[in-house]
Every structure is written in structure tokens, then in C-alpha cells.
Structure 1
Amino acid sequence: MVQTVRIEAVARADAGKGAARATRREGLVPGVVYGAKQAATLVAFDPRDIMKELTKGGWQSHLYEVVVKDGPTERTIMREVQFHPVTDRPIHIDFQRVAPGARIRVRVPVVFQNEETSVGIKAGGVLNVVRREVEVLAETDKVPDHFEIDLAEAKIGDGLRWSSIKDHQGARPGIAGRDFMIASIAAPTVDEELAPVVVAAPEPVKGKGKAPAKAAAKPAAAAAPAAPAKKK
């Protein structure tokens, strides 16, 4: 089931872009906790705690207990992270409160099992992943940590869909009304044979090589007929 991660925060008094910039100058990441029909709580986090969660993955499906110093402990999900366009560091984080029994929309990663023994992959097929995460609606206390799809019997041309997941764990798909594709075993790509290329012999370059033979001399003109003998 879903992990619950404890993360510490401090309260901040002022809202707005100027206050957020001042929080960043102090070396903290500004954030807000909202939802559940309660007033928003302005908070700030140690950037090391935030980066730890972002780099280990799966934060979209984790529950977080945001422990505010000298304040309440909020049960939340990490809803949105804004990043600096140059440094790619987090600059603002939104946490949404969740109530017990309520359904929340989360993205759950998909894990593919027995890829090395898959019938289709051993035959030369390639695993083509369409969705590495699936968006679902799940109860806050029953959010799956991940979904599993077994590839052992998958053949070339087979599609792995929502119905291929071993256990939905009570979650409902965000895409309703169809058994959508998650992955497939694609046929191997075969290169077409190239036709042999015939290279024509180069034409002789004018002005080089042997000179053409001279034309044969014209035959000598026929001898003129002898003059008739004079009569005596």
C-alpha cells in the first residue's frame, strides 16, 4: 500500500511573490497546504528534504504528513511542484489535505514483471511502454504504491491493458469506459535487403589517350585514257 512520509516544515506569515522570494533567500522552499474546506497554511521546507522525495520517485502516490513546527500536522499529498527554469530546482510546492475515506486522484507507477522470461521478448519482441504511470481514483488509505503486470506469457503482438494489472487494489481508473493500453510486445524491426548497386564504367575523358587513327589516304585518280593515234 501507499507509503506515508513525514516531512517537517516551518510556518511563514506572508503570502505573495515578494514573501516567497524572501523565503528562498533564507535557503528554504516556500509552499502551501490547502483543501478539505480549511484555510490555507503557508509553510516553508528544507530543500534537501524536498529533493530527497523528488529524486527517489513515486512522490505522486505517497501520502505526506507535513509536520509544521509549533503548528498542526497535516495529512496531505504532494500536488504540484514548480521548478526554476534554469537551475531546475524546486521553487514552490503545493500540498493538498486529504480526509480519511475520501478518494483522491493520483498517478501510480507500473512495474513490469518477468521481462527476462517473457515468451514474446525471448522471441525477439520489444516491450513498448505507452504509460509508465496510471492515473487512478483511490481512497486515501488505500492508494497503491505501484501496479504490477506479468509479462511471462505475453507474446509478440499482445497488448497489456488496464485489465492486465494483477490487482487494482480497489482503485478506479481515471480513464473511464475503456480498457486502455499500457504497453505492448512489438515485433522486431527487420531491415530490408538492399538491391545490388550497379556502377557504370566511367566514360573516357576527351583529349586524353591514343589519338584516333588517321583516315586512309584517298585512292589515286584513275589514269586518263590514251590519246587516239594520228592517221597517216
Structure 2
Amino acid sequence: MSAIKPLEAVARDRVGKGAARAVRRQGNVPAVIYGGGKDPQAIAIDLIRTRTLIYAGGFKTTVFEIDAGGKKTRAIPRDFQLDPVSGVPLHVDFLRIVAGQTVTVEVPVHFEHEDAAPGIKKMGGTLNISKHTLELEVAPDQIPDAIVVDLTGREIGDAIHVSDIKIPAGTYTGEPTDSIANIVPPTVLGAEVEAEEAAIAEAQSTEAAEEKAEEEAETSDKGDEKKSDDKE
């Protein structure tokens, strides 16, 4: 289970776009803690710390103990915004943790023991993953770091469904029959890749031919203009 992480913050008195811009100019990220039957609390958190946490992975499945001026609040990130160009964090929304409540989170799926899967190791099959995360409804202090799928003994043609694996805690929000992955013959994905590469090559060839035709037409037009000028 993910450990609770401390997070230093500063309480904010002002909110709004102007106040948020001022916070960012100071090297911080504006954030809000909401939920739990209490009024929203506006805070600011360090930009470098926030960026590190987000890009390290698992940010939205981690419970933080946020210390804003000595007032500590346990909360989990619900959403965050990044600058579309620079990727710098612009805003974070936190949800207060209340005793007895559950939260809905996306937990990553990890696959292990590929070497022990005959369909992959011996037959050259490929693991085709359809779900990289599973959405769970779980108590905040029971959020798994990951859901592990053991591939030992898996053969080509085997399909792995949610019902085939053990979920450490919480309840999966989808159906037990939902597919997580399957092992396909090496020629299946190979044929798809070859078809895609052929389509790309054909498109590039067509585009090149069109460009060449346009260039020849422009050259021809210029030649006709020059002949006309010479006659004059």
C-alpha cells in the first residue's frame, strides 16, 4: 500500500486568476482542498516538489498529509492541470480524506514473469495489453501501489480477465469479464505492423508524387511565361 506522504503548503487568502498568477510568479502552484463536508481551502505548494511528485508516477493514488501553517489535512489528488507547452503544473485539486469513505482511483497494472510464459518465451508470442490501469473503489489507506498479473504458464491464445487476478484491496468498478491482456502469435502483431508501415509508405509516396507534379507544373508555367516575355 502507498505510504502517506507529507506535503508542505501555504494557506492562501485570495483566489481567482489574478491571485493564481501571483502564486505562480512566486514559484508555487495554486491548489485547493475540498470535500469532507467542509469549505474549500485554497493553498499554494512548491512548484519543484509538485512537478517531481507528478512526474514520478502514482500521484493520483497517493494520500498526502498537507501541512498548511500547522493545520494538517489528509487528502488525495483528484486532478491537476499542466501547461500544454512546457508541462509545468498549473493547478492541483485535492479531496479531503474522511474516515469510512472510499475513493475511486486508477491503479496501474504490472505484468511479471514473462520468462515463465511458454507462449512468450518459447513460441515468440507477444503480450497484447488492453488495460494498463484498473479503476478501483477503495479506502484511501488501502490503495495498492499496483495490481500484479503473473504470466507464469501462459500460452499463446490465453486471455487474462479481471476475474483471473487477485485485486489486493477495494472493488473493481467494471465487469469481471473485462479483458486485461492476451498473448497473441508473433505473426498477428507483425502483420498489423507491416500493413501499417505499407499504408504509411504508400501515403508518403503519393504525397511525394503530388509535390513533384506541383513542382513540374510550376516550372512549366514559369517556362511558358518566359517564352511569352521573350516574344514581347
TM-score, length basis structure 1: 0.77
Confirm whether residue 93 of structure 1 aligns to residue 92 of structure 2.
Answer: yes
**RMSD of the alignment, in Å?**
1.5
Q: What code does the residue aligned with 2:72 have?
A: T
Match of 1:117 in 2: 116
State the distance in 2 between where 1:102 and 1:57 align: 24
The alignment covers a number of residue pairs equal to: 189
Shift of 1:80: 0.5
* 3-state SS in 2 of match to 1:110: strand
Q: What code does the residue aligned with 1:187 have?
A: P
- Show CA shifts across 1:16-44 (max 9, x none): 11110111111111000000010111000
Please, which of 184, 190, 204 is the counterpart of residue 182 of structure 2? 184
> Where do 1:46-57 residues align within 5 Å?
46-57=46-57
- Show CA shifts across 1:88-135 (max 9, x none): 110000110111221110111111110122111011110111111111
Q: What code does the residue aligned with 1:27 have?
A: G
Checking the alignment, whether the CA contact within 8 Å between 2:163 and 2:176 is kept in structure 1 is: no
* 3-state SS in 2 of match to 1:101: coil
Match of 2:203 in 1: none
TM-score, length basis structure 2: 0.77
Larger helix percent:
2
State the distance in 1 between where 2:125 and 2:137 align: 33
Shift of 1:143: 1.4
- Show CA shifts across 1:143-195 (max 9, x none): 11111110011111111111222x312311121x4421111111111778xxx
State the distance in 2 between where 1:117 and 1:107 align: 28
* 3-state SS in 2 of match to 1:93: strand
> Where do 1:192-231 residues align within 5 Å?
none
Unpaired runs of 5+ residues, structure 1, are: 193-232
State the distance in 2 between where 1:114 and 1:44 align: 43
Confirm whether residue 107 of structure 1 aligns to residue 106 of structure 2.
Answer: yes
State the distance in 1 between where 2:119 and 2:47 align: 45
